[in-house]
């Protein structure tokens, strides 16, 4: 469904770019919202399984990280647009103005659909839920990254693995104005300040960098999944060092358990990528 929705979205955008219809409504974003909702639903379904375990500590880990991301989101939302270029202030203002105009046409008096504080509060709750859903995918990715580095023998592969692991940090820094935009738009070149590119070009460059980093993560998927599958060999090697005996059936179950869980690992690896692209 994700591939089909992406193709439909691209075809729709190409059609509107060349034909420029004025009497038709562009519903290409609906496909992106559908893909995003399905990805969140998959992560929610995987997270609910951790809460069904009575003796494990997965539930406590999810709750702890959920509160951590809630506090972190509240702290980030306090930062002004001069430092973090999220566009929330402009987007909220445009949404409020459009909603008020719609209510006025309907003959209703209102100060706006929701206050800015309430909007940021619900946005922080949504971010905390997403953070809780991505807790174990992030932990699993870190473990697979270490295992993939141990398996990689070529320098170029190790470099790509490091870039792939640090890609989320690079993406976040692209929206921190004092670190990226200010230096590119107004670089300190002597006494004069000559911008290297326009603001529209910089925005396009950011989007292309995100697409390239997502393509890199998709290309490195095989290395990470292979690193996870090697856990079965590690378990067998560890059992050889231990005293005692184990039946062949138990050994087969232990190895098969790793292979059966591969689908979940693949979902945890791909779902954040799909959410980012859409």
pLDDT tens column, 71-87: 998 888 888 777 888 77
pLDDT tens column, 24-72: 677 778 888 888 888 888 888 888 888 877 766 778 888 889 899 999 9
pLDDT at 112: 61
pLDDT at 111: 62
pLDDT tens column, 229-252: 888 777 777 777 766 677 777 777
Q: How confident is the model at residue 110 (pLDDT cuts 50, 70, 90)?
A: low
Is pLDDT above 80 for 147? yes
Q: Let me know: does 141 contact 224? Beta carbons within 8 Å.
A: yes
Average pLDDT, the chain: 81
Share of residues in the chain with pLDDT > 90 (%) = 2
Three-state SS across the chain? Answer: CHHHHHHHHHHHHHHHHHHCCCCCCCCHHHHHHHHHHHHHHHHHHHHHHHHCCCCCCHHHHHHHHHHHHHHHHHHHHHCCCCCECCCHHHHHHHHHHHHHHHHHHCCCCCCCCCCHHHHHHHHHHHHHHHHHHCHHHHHHHHHHHHHHHHHCCCHHHHHHHHHHHHHHHHHHHCCECCCCHHHHHCCCECCECCCCCCHHHHHHHHHHHHHHHHHHHHHCHHHHHHHHHCHHHHHHHHHHCCCCCCCHHHHHHHHHHHHHCHHHHHHHHHHHHHHHHC
190-209 average pLDDT score: 78
pLDDT at 205: 86
pLDDT at 233: 79
């Amino acid at each position: 469904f994700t591939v089909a929705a992406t193709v439909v979205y691209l075809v729709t955008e190409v059609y509107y770019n060349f034909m420029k219809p004025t009497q038709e409504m562009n519903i290409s974003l609906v496909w992106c919202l559908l893909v995003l909702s399905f990805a969140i639903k998959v992560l929610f379904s995987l997270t609910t399984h951790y809460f069904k375990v009575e003796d494990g500590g997965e539930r406590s880990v999810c709750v702890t990280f959920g509160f951590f991301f809630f506090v972190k989101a509240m702290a980030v939302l306090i930062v002004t647009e001069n430092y973090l270029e999220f566009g929330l202030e402009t987007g909220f203002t445009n949404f409020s103005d459009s909603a008020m105009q719609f209510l006025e046409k309907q003959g209703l008096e209102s100060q706006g659909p929701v206050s800015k504080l309430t909007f940021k509060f619900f946005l922080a709750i949504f971010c905390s839920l997403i953070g809780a859903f991505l807790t174990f995918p992030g932990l699993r990715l870190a473990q697979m990254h270490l295992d993939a580095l141990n398996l990689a023998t070529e320098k170029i592969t190790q470099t790509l693995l490091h870039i792939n692991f640090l890609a989320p940090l690079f993406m976040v820094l692209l929206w921190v104005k004092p670190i990226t935009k200010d230096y590119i738009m107004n670089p300190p070149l002597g006494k004069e300040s000559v911008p290297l590119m326009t603001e529209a070009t910089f925005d396009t460059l950011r989007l292309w960098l995100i697409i390239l980093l997502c393509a890199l993560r998709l290309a490195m998927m095989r290395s990470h999944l292979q690193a996870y599958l090697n856990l079965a060999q590690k378990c067998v090697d560890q059992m050889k060092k231990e005293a005692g005996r184990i039946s062949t059936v138990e050994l087969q179950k232990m190895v098969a358990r790793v292979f059966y869980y591969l689908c979940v690992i693949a979902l945890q690896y791909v779902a954040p990528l799909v959410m980012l692209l859409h």
